[in-house]
């Protein structure tokens, strides 16, 4: 259904990948291969685009993707401590997914909110000036809703 809504043209590659990821929460290998056939591009091209852009994931993610900004401003203001606290609270490493598949934890290089550092995002929602003491409350918000 996703592929049939798109032209058989390589210019539709990113929109196709975005829709495939929205459907599955990541880009399964089979879906990327099918997209390559539909768009008439080599599978290596699809894989190259999928691995170049940080918005794509080749492995399943949690329902809530927690991304800790490690840009210069955030790092200087304690993002490394936030990362460690999140790892402790979620009991996963960066790149991991909680057993209940509710959370995954990632690092990003810059969110573009340097004046609000340290910053983390949960999905598309930005949380500014986050302190380690805020982490349990923040996770609880997403555990029970949102």
What are the tens digits of pLDDT across the range 52-108? Answer: 987 899 999 999 999 999 999 999 999 999 999 999 999 999 999 999 999 999 999
Residues of the chain with CATH 1.10.10.1590: 3-52
Nearest to 117 by CA among 88, 76, 87: 76
Residues of the chain with CATH 3.40.30.10: 64-143
pTM for the predicted model, two decimal places: 0.78
Nearest to 74 by CA among 131, 2, 19, 12: 131
Residue of 14 and 146 predicted with greater confidence: 14
CATH number of 3-52: 1.10.10.1590
- For domain 64-143, which architecture applies? 3-Layer(aba) Sandwich (3.40)
DSSP 131: -
Kindly state the helix (H) or strand (E) to which residue 122 belongs, with its residue range.
strand 120-122
């Amino acid at each position: 259904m996703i592929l049939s809504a798109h032209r058989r043209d390589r210019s539709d590659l990113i929109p196709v990948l975005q829709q495939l990821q929205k459907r599955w929460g990541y880009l399964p290998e089979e879906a990327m291969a099918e997209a390559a056939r539909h768009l008439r591009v080599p599978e290596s091209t699809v894989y190259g685009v999928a691995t170049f852009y940080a918005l794509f994931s080749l492995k399943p993610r949690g329902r809530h993707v927690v991304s800790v900004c490690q840009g210069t401003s955030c790092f200087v203001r304690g993002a490394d401590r936030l990362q460690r606290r999140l790892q402790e609270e979620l009991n996963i490493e960066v790149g991991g997914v909680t057993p209940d598949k509710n959370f995954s934890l990632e690092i990003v290089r810059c969110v573009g909110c340097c004046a609000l550092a340290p910053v983390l995002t949960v999905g598309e929602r930005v949380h500014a000036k986050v302190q380690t003491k805020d982490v349990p409350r923040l996770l609880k918000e997403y555990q029970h809703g949102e």
